[in-house]
Chains A and B, each alone.
Chain A
Amino acid sequence: MAFISLQEVSYTYNGRKEAAVKNITLNIEEGEKIALTGLNGSGKSTLAKLILGLLKPQAGNIVLDGLPLGKYSLVKIGEKIGYVVQNPSQMLFNTSVFNEIAFGLKWKGKGKDEVFHLCKKYLEFFELWHLRDELPFNLSEGQKQLVVICAVLALQPRFLILDEPTKSIDTFRKKRLKDILQEIWRLGTGIMVISHDKEFLTAYGGRRIHMVKGEVVEDAGRYQN
């Protein structure tokens, strides 16, 4: 049984003629490493939002961990899948960088020491610990992006979807990101990276899914359908 399974899923945005996602059938196993590529507007982010239940498909079924996606609340989906949006400043809503990362951990009921330890671990890994008391809105674009990535990584989800994670981050931190993704993948976390960054994707590896105009035209890698 696949962890995420899409059956002939289609989605058309309100007022659009063309479907953004067309008749996609896809199986994603637990612990798989996936790179999703495609030109601008090919439907990658839309596919991610469908998997996360932020958009409801007009046709087709999505099954997450054995249950139809419609049976989950957003909170329950968030417990299984961590998601970093393409425009991460949309995800910042706390009064300090530290709280931004602690937010989800506290709601998970983690103790003070553990929250502190996890926040420190991830912020230090990306050399952002000195920014812990800053207002997240005032960070640079790349810093904002890394803070959101840290916040989602700290929750240690079973599956991780990152939409354009390398968009505005520097070479040094890009390498760090690749390293940590590699490490959590080795420890069993599934990952889907949406990216245009050839260099990053080459280093990252994994199953390659390529989309053109809302359809999957190429799917090659570890698991083949």
Chain B
Amino acid sequence: MRVDIRTKLLIVAIFSVLALAYQDPRTLGIILLLNLLTVILFRVPLHIFRGFKGFIYMYAALMVIQSFFVRDGEPLLQLGSIYLLTTDGVLYGISIMLRFFILVGSGLIILNCNTSELILALVKLRIPYEIVFMIQVGIRFIPVFMGELQNIFHGIQLRGVDLRRVYKRKVLKVYVSIFSPVIYSVLQKAEKLSILLELRGFRKSPTRTYYRDISLGKIDYVIMTLSLIITAVLVYAVRH
């Protein structure tokens, strides 16, 4: 099944809006279920989710913080007059967590797309090519900068700085050492890139051609219509 990237973008947009529009954990739960179904249908490798396990603790902490400070709802766990956990706190924590996972799932759908198709979709959506190009460069350079940052980290440690044991006074200094070369090299790369672009005729003619092409097929219209219907039904059901 080849689904056009614009269809995926539409679905992702719907999920993101829904995730932010609703607060009720039950509704969010249903949305997350639909989201997971979509993620599976689009064949996103699910193991990526495992990387987010650590966030669960954060949400547990959020529940406690919310219960402690807001004190709404029935207490579930209390210490004297201090509320440690309330029903509202728990619900709040669960909502935020569900919301987070819906957004992660949507992000995964996009991440799993081919970058050049994504770019092409943005162009076809009439976003100015200069802006699309900036997005493209941004995506392209993320791994480069991560690699550079890692090199500097390694370099600093191999030259004798134990990053875990740096004195408080010197932390700032070390971090300046780490980020200044990376920022400097970003600027240098940007400058080189702009020269290279001109040398290779960027924007020489008002239109450009693309090696790949994307097109909306029958299946796309079916999926888009279905998603809109499901969304409408969901919105209606929640209202009543």
Cβ A108 vs Cβ B160 within 8 A: yes
Q: How far is the CB of B150 from chain A (nearest CB, A)?
A: 9
Interface residues on B, range: 10 to 19
A73 CB contact (under 8 Å) in B151, B162, B177, B180? B162
Cβ B158 vs Cβ A90 within 8 A: no
Say whether, besides A74-B154, A137-B188, A92 and B159 are in contact (CB < 8 Å): no
Cβ A137 vs Cβ B159 within 8 A: no
Bound together, the chains give a CA A75 to CA B188 distance in angstroms of 30
Bound together, the chains give a CA A16 to CA B180 distance in angstroms of 33
By a CB distance below 8 angstroms, the chain A residues around B152 are: 90, 93
Cβ B184 vs Cβ A90 within 8 A: no
Q: Is A216 an interface residue (CB 8 A)?
A: no
Q: How far is the CB of A71 from chain B (nearest CB, A)?
A: 15
Q: Is B62 an interface residue (CB 8 A)?
A: no
By a CB distance below 8 angstroms, the chain A residues around B148 are: 90
Cβ A91 vs Cβ B160 within 8 A: no
Bound together, the chains give a CA A79 to CA B159 distance in angstroms of 7
By a CB distance below 8 angstroms, the chain A residues around B151 are: 85, 90-91
Chain B residue nearest to A92 (CB atoms) is B181
Bound together, the chains give a CA A94 to CA B159 distance in angstroms of 12
CB interface residues, A 104-141, toward B, < 8 Å: 104, 107-108, 137
Bound together, the chains give a CA A83 to CA B152 distance in angstroms of 13
By a CB distance below 8 angstroms, the chain B residues around A137 are: 181, 184-185, 188
Bound together, the chains give a CA A75 to CA B177 distance in angstroms of 17
Cβ A107 vs Cβ B159 within 8 A: yes
Q: Is B178 an interface residue (CB 8 A)?
A: yes
By a CB distance below 8 angstroms, the chain B residues around A83 are: 158
10 shortest A-B CB distances, which residue pairs? A78-B158, A104-B159, A74-B157, A90-B151, A93-B181, A107-B160, A91-B155, A75-B162, A104-B160, A93-B177
